[in-house]
Structure 1
Amino acid sequence: QGNLEFGVCRTNYTGGGRSSSNRKKSPAILLGGNSGEKTPILTESTPLGKMLRARYLGGDRSTSVPAAKTSETELQKMLAALISEAKICFKNKAYTEAIKKAKQAIALHGQNFDAYYLLAQIYANLGQYARAIENCQRASEIDSLCVFPYYLQAHIAEEKGDLATAKSYFKRIIYLSPSFISAYLELGNIYRKEGQLARAIKMYNSSCEILKKLPPHTPIEQHGKITARQMLMDVKKILLTLYSK
């Protein structure tokens, strides 16, 4: 079995659901697929929350600068820079340097979803699945509604031949984000592999209903960035094959 290959991803993805309304805006890193660079997989911003209490320097408050606020701003800039550099290293497969920068970001701010998720993708690409899963779990502790760590773990489980666990993760993704196309397709593929054709057809039909509602040229990034129209045509071909059996 070869190692998984994931690219920097965005956390924006085609589809809505619970996760889209509750997800904290953070620079994300996506599996080279439908969530794309976290615009997804990539408008990049890291939510830090209130890390420091605002205190003012002495003097006139109307002209003085909040010391803590200034420190927080600098910290945000440092974190954003480290994550951005780590993603570039990851994209270029400079994994050692990417790991170093992601860990530096965590040292600065422990509740860093993007850093943990990036580490998870790196370790998955290196075939170090135990470490990948550990970092997925840490990312989910920070944001339990984001589907991407579950998506990565589903692929790891499938790579290891644990289809039951993979199906469990894909079902969780569908629960959290009912319009996440890739989960339906992946689950349909597993059912098809297992010979559960009725369930496979149900999953493919569900994906078709979602695809029909999208603008034709919407990129489905977790599947090679093909468009919604192309993906719909491909799924319909699969359905024709299944219906003929």
Structure 2
Amino acid sequence: MQPKSKQESFASYRSLLSPDLSPEEFVLFRDHIAEQSGLFLDESKMDSLRISLLARATLHDFSSYLEYLDFMRESPGEFNELLSLITNNETSFFRYPGQFEALCALLPEIMARRATLDRRIRIWSAGCSTGEEPYSIAMCVLDYLGEDISWSLEVFGTDVSKRALAICESGVYDEKAIRSLEPRWHRYMERAGDKWRAGPLLKKTVSFGYHNLIKEPYPLSVMSDWDIIFCRNVTIYFKLESTRRVIKNFYQSLNPGGFLFIGHSETLRTISDDFASREVNGVFVYQKQEEPWAPGVKEISSQTRSRADEEPGTGEETVRQADTSFAELLRQATDEFEQGHIDQARPLLEAALSRQPDNADVNLILSYIYANEGQYQSAIDCCRKTLDVQPLSARAHYLLGVVYDKVGKPDDAEQEFKKTLYADPNFALAHLNLANIYRMQGKNDLARRAYHNAIDLLMQQPEGDWVEFLGGFMGDLVAETAKKGLAQVGRGAGKGRKQQD
């Protein structure tokens, strides 16, 4: 029996699959999509969702939307296909040119800050769709740098749509897409039959990866050290609470003095007070303030402030926690944390900590939360409490090293990463972070060795305690980051596995 064609399939099932989506079905799909991706579809998106569901359910010969929902829940690949239809991938090269002019105007400021470090500019395009934005960013900055080869540029594009990311990786665009490019940008592209393709310099400069902006926490060792973040017209799909979390994570991921670009019609006025707004050539951008870190002073995130400002509740939750055993509190907290429900995990952890202040597991999980919220002194304190009980905890040493590096204490960070490798020689991310420190110190031979170790482990042994610090990223993507670092120090002597000095 020959399989049905798409036309035959649609004809035979259209009488069974209703073209209408009931309000109850809309809520079920809306909530599942929000839970898995953070995208919140209000009622104005109901018809758009209905059209996408009709296309996918018909393709798979389902007779009801609820059958398709069950199928989608068990199939991450199908969820990504639906998400690709739902999300608006409308984009173009140099969309909103004024923002790119503002980018160029800010480059001298970024370069002045980086000149005494590693002469490297790092820009993240979050929600990059099919890649036109990150490629435009790269062309803009490369054009500004001109013949100055003493600077390197890294542009990283992320999205939740794997279909869009496939286009990004190919770098191939039709004439319609290229039509918006001024002739002076054509030198960065090359002909590919009747299409255009990103040229070698762009492909070398821009990399792509899957990332869900709602996933928490953002791994400091991967999603940090950015000078500029572009996230334009992406958070309009999120609930206000989700948007606030995303913006907070952007704040933590930026270097002091770094800039956030959002949509030209978007504002952070009711979302965050962490950033200072600046007008640059008629365009508003948001800057992370260069506040010195004060050891011993507990930092308070905006989420913590908002909780402190709330009116006290009835205390029923406190009573329930008092009636729960320590083991059950820890189990519940761990489950909530692993699902990314940070606000639910924190009070459970704090209740558990009040009973066993020196418990290593509780302190380690809290150190993750504090580190990713920018409460660095609290993170350090919790790491140290963990190490008091478990002095060979590779995870605690590694996280402590990441925090020290984040607050500008590279010597302390170096020692913690070495202790990580003493406890676990195969902890790939410790090799990578140690390599970055050596590169910054000009110790190129040690940096090369550490980069090689990191690359080998990321590619050949993609398992271990370090994986949880990737925040959902794939090891091969982090390996590409290591390869770029290796290219900066050269590929000469220093290759091969050897315990760090």
User: Shorter-normalised TM-score: what interval?
Assistant: 0.5 to 0.7
In structure 2, what is the equivalent of residue 117 of structure 1? Answer: 364
Q: Taking every aligned residue pair, what percent have the same amino acid on both sides?
A: 26
- Aligned pair 1:86/2:333, yes or no? yes
Distance 1:134 1:226, change over 3 A: closer
CA distance, structure 2, for counterparts of residue 231 and residue 99 of structure 1: 29
In structure 1, what is the equivalent of residue 132 of structure 2? Answer: none
Q: Which amino acid in the other structure matches residue 440 of structure 2?
A: K
- Aligned pair 1:129/2:376, yes or no? yes
Q: Secondary structure at the match of 1:145?
A: coil
Q: Which of 420, 429, 439 is the matching residue for 1:182? A: 429
Gaps of 5+ in 1: 1-29, 35-76
Q: Which of 392, 395, 400 is the matching residue for 1:148? A: 395
Distance 1:234 1:152, change over 3 A: closer
Note if contact 2:349-2:362 (Cα within 8 Å) is conserved in structure 1.
yes
In structure 1, what is the equivalent of residue 385 of structure 2? Answer: 138
Distance 1:127 1:231, change over 3 A: closer
TM-aligned CA deviation for residue 31 of structure 1: 8.1
* Mean Cα deviation higher: 111-120 or 137-146: 111-120
CA distance, structure 1, for counterparts of residue 459 and residue 481 of structure 2: 13
- Aligned pair 1:195/2:445, yes or no? no
- Cα deviation digits, residues 62-98 of structure 1 (max 9, x gap): xxxxxxxxxxxxxxx833431243342683331xx54
Q: Which amino acid in the other structure matches residue 140 of structure 1?
A: L
Q: Which amino acid in the other structure matches residue 131 of structure 1?
A: S
Distance 1:210 1:93, change over 3 A: closer
Gaps of 5+ in 2: 1-216, 222-323, 493-501
- Aligned pair 1:205/2:474, yes or no? no
TM-aligned CA deviation for residue 220 of structure 1: 4.2
Distance 1:31 1:171, change over 3 A: farther
CA distance, structure 1, for counterparts of residue 395 and residue 218 of structure 2: 8
In structure 1, what is the equivalent of residue 413 of structure 2? Answer: 166
- Cα deviation digits, residues 122-174 of structure 1 (max 9, x gap): 33234332222222111112211111221121121111111100111001111
Note if contact 2:358-2:389 (Cα within 8 Å) is conserved in structure 1.
yes
TM-aligned CA deviation for residue 100 of structure 1: 3.0
Q: Secondary structure at the match of 1:179?
A: coil
Q: Secondary structure at the match of 1:115?
A: helix
In structure 2, what is the equivalent of residue 101 of structure 1? Answer: 348
Q: Which amino acid in the other structure matches residue 325 of structure 2?
A: M
CA distance, structure 2, for counterparts of residue 138 and residue 238 of structure 1: 33
Note if contact 2:401-2:417 (Cα within 8 Å) is conserved in structure 1.
yes
Distance 1:213 1:105, change over 3 A: same
Pairing of 1:63-74 with structure 2 (within 5 A): none
CA distance, structure 1, for counterparts of residue 353 and residue 367 of structure 2: 13
Q: Which amino acid in the other structure matches residue 185 of structure 1?
A: L
- Cα deviation digits, residues 35-59 of structure 1 (max 9, x gap): xxxxxxxxxxxxxxxxxxxxxxxxx
Greater share of residues in strand: 2
Count of residue correspondences: 170
TM-aligned CA deviation for residue 235 of structure 1: 3.0
CA distance, structure 2, for counterparts of residue 126 and residue 227 of structure 1: 23
CA distance, structure 2, for counterparts of residue 110 and residue 178 of structure 1: 30
CA distance, structure 1, for counterparts of residue 441 and residue 486 of structure 2: 16
Q: Which amino acid in the other structure matches residue 92 of structure 1?
A: H
Q: Which amino acid in the other structure matches residue 153 of structure 1?
A: L
TM-score (norm 2): 0.30
Distance 1:222 1:106, change over 3 A: closer
User: Using CA pairs below 8 Å that are at least 6 residues apart, which structure has the higher relative contact order?
Assistant: 1
Distance 1:189 1:83, change over 3 A: same
CA distance, structure 2, for counterparts of residue 204 and residue 115 of structure 1: 32
CA distance, structure 2, for counterparts of residue 231 and residue 103 of structure 1: 33
Note if contact 1:33-1:221 (Cα within 8 Å) is conserved in structure 2.
no
Note if contact 1:33-1:220 (Cα within 8 Å) is conserved in structure 2.
no
CA distance, structure 2, for counterparts of residue 221 and residue 106 of structure 1: 22
Q: Secondary structure at the match of 1:134?
A: helix
CA distance, structure 2, for counterparts of residue 143 and residue 160 of structure 1: 24
Note if contact 2:220-2:402 (Cα within 8 Å) is conserved in structure 1.
no
